[in-house]
Every structure is written in structure tokens, then in C-alpha cells.
Amino acid sequence: MIFVWSEGFSFLCDLSFMHKCSACYKQFNKKEHLVEHMKVSYHSVHQPKCGICKKHCRSFESLREHSKGWLAKDSCSKIFHELGCGLCMKVFESSIFLSEHKWTCHLIPPTRLGTISLPSMELKTSIPDISNGDIVPKIHEAIAMDCEMVGGGSDGTLNLCGRVCLIDENEDILFHAYVQPQMPVTDYRSDLTGLSEEHLRDAMPLKEVQEKILEILYNGESIGMARVDGGKAKLLVGHSLEHDLDCLNMSYPDHLIRDTAKYHPLMKTNLVSHSLKYLTKMYLGYDIQMGIHDPFEDCVSVMRLYKRMREQDHLKDFIGACHATEFQTNEFECCKMKDLEKLTPDELFEMSRSKYRCWCLDMVHKVPPQLCRVKRLKACEY
């Protein structure tokens, strides 16, 4: 029993009768309020979690505030200061383990390509032939892409692709080209792009650039098959990819896109995007975009961010690992309120599913759609 003061009046509150969320530790007077909270919070094992008190947070930014911010929890802040990594937010058993970890967690910036006398380049990649017995080592390999845009239109505000770069997971360049836009360039935005009329005079036509990029991304797969289940197509990684695809006048299946600007754990607590420059500094430990923007530097940084998020060690729930085109079912909608109120906070948390698809699931082999539906129906019957 504790004494609580609020808005000019006081009352006694027995915490033993409070209903506590097993994920974020919020407390509610009534069980139905806890149930409603679970319906809209989308807690899951994939949320960033404090390595000390195990509290789940909406994003790594909120986890950072919880562990080392101005309003950090004292007990967690003290331990994190001694044993926590400020980049990946992991907590280690000893300072020795932490020191060893920092050597691999704190990365060095990639070498910039620059713009002086840099030709177009393309690295041909072999497409595995399953019919001949070739083994695909991993489902959906990732390709990072970044474009530098010049200005078109009377005021130079129309974004046109002036340069594009694609790299693989090993940070090797698969394709790089200066791009000749389909309309006149009125602003080369040289202060940011480093481009000039000379760079684009003999540049590759946009139509040819589109064909080469699609050849790399679809990896010999038909567009129809890729849009259904991905097939052998690559995952496209980038930051604010809709702008890159727009300036290239291209589209790509949503379920094959991994955008660091829209990935919930990397966003602000209110789900507003961070810049790639900020994310690179906070999660990789180095600065980018110092002066002229370099597409290779941005590609490497966004690929490293993706791989760092993909390597998060989470429990793999079967719904999260389902077929790419399958929508996650909200199990709470399959049950009546009176039945949900009988469940413990831990059981409610087990039913809860993430609102986004965690990138750690990209390392999980695909589950046949029929099996996903069967498992989902069984979960709803519960």
C-alpha cells in the first residue's frame, strides 16, 4: 500500500492489485485496460529490450533514453555505463567482454569513390542454376542502392538521377554509373553531389541503367514470381528508397524492400525517420556525408545498418517467419474480451505480435504459405 498524490488530491493505491504489462511494465487498474493496451502496443520479442531490466521499448532511441539518457532509470544507467555498448545497446557480463566487443562494433568509414575520372563499372554476378544442382547458400541476399540526384525543371527542384551505385553484402560494387537524365539538368547541385556537366555528358542513358539494375535485383527471376514470393530476387536495402526509385522511374516489390528510414526500431519514438548520417553515427560509430555526398559511402553504411539489425538475436516466432506476402493476424481480434481477461500478463504477451517484420527473420528460411495458414488458425483457436 502506497500513498499517491495527484492534481491536488491524494489516495491510497495497492500495487498488488495493479495489472502490469510483461513487456513495457506499464501498470493498469483494470485487467481490461491491460488487454486494450496489448491490442494497440504490438509488443513482441523483436522489440529493442533493455539488457538489464528486460523492459521492451518502441525503438532503439527510446531504449537509449532508458539506459543512458537524461531520464534514464538509475539502476539500469549505472550498470549500462560500466558494461553496455553505446552503439548496439548490448550489455555484457564483464568489462573485458565489452572491450573485446567494441573492436568489432565500432566500424571505420569506407573509402569514398570520389568523382574525379571515375568511369561506369559493373561486376557481373553468376546466377545459381538450381536445375543443375547448384545450391543457393542463403535465402534473399541483400543489395544496397543509393542515388545522387541533380535538379531539373525551371527552378531545379525536380529530382533527376545523376549517379547510382549498387553493392552486395560484402561491400563489393555490383554496378556504378553516371546517369543521363531524360530531361535537361538545370541544377547539378555540385555542393552536395560533386557532379558537373562534364560527368553527365557521356553518361549512361537512364533506360540502360534501369535494365542493368533490374537484372541485378531480379537475379534471373521473372517479375511475376518475385512479386508473389520473392523467388531468387534480391532484397533491396537503402535509406528513403522511394526517392531513389522515383528518380530512376522504377518500382520494386514492397516485401523485398528494407528501408532504414522506415524500420521501426531505427526511427524516433514517435515513428519519425532519422537521417542516414545520424543513424550511421549512432549505430556504426563514424561520420558520413562530410561535404560532398558519396553514393558508395552511403551504400556501405546502409548495408552495415541492415546487417546489424538483421543479426539481432531474437526468438523466431512462426508468424514473423511466414511467407513474405502473408499478413500477420492480430490474435486478440479472434478472442472475446472475457476470455482475454482470464489470461495472465505473460500469456497476453505471448499472443502479441510485432507491427513490423523484424529483419532478423530474413535469416530464417521461408515457410510454405499453407503451413503458415494452418499454424495461424491453430493460434486463433487457442
Per DSSP, which regions of the chain are E strands? 2-6, 9-13, 19-20, 27-28, 121-122, 142-152, 158-167, 173-180, 185-187, 204-205, 235-238, 257-259
Grid coordinates of 318: 512462426
pLDDT value of residue 16: 56
* Residue type (1 letter), 299: C
pLDDT value of residue 124: 55
pLDDT value of residue 328: 52
pLDDT value of residue 116: 66
Our measurement of the distance from residue 175's CA atom to the centroid of its chain's CA atoms, rounded to an integer in Å, reads 23
- Parallel, antiparallel or unpaired: strands 2-6 and 9-13: antiparallel
- Do 357 and 49 touch, CB atoms closer than 8 A? no
Q: Please state the pTM of the whole predicted model.
A: 0.84
Contacts of 100 (CB under 8 A, 6+ apart): none
pLDDT value of residue 47: 94
Nearest-angstrom CA–CA distance, 2 and 77 = 26
Three-state secondary-structure class, residue 122: strand
Three-state secondary-structure class, residue 65: helix
Residues comprising the chain, all counted: 382
Task: Give the chain's residues under pLDDT 70.
Answer: 1-17, 116-119, 123-139, 228-230, 316-330, 364-382
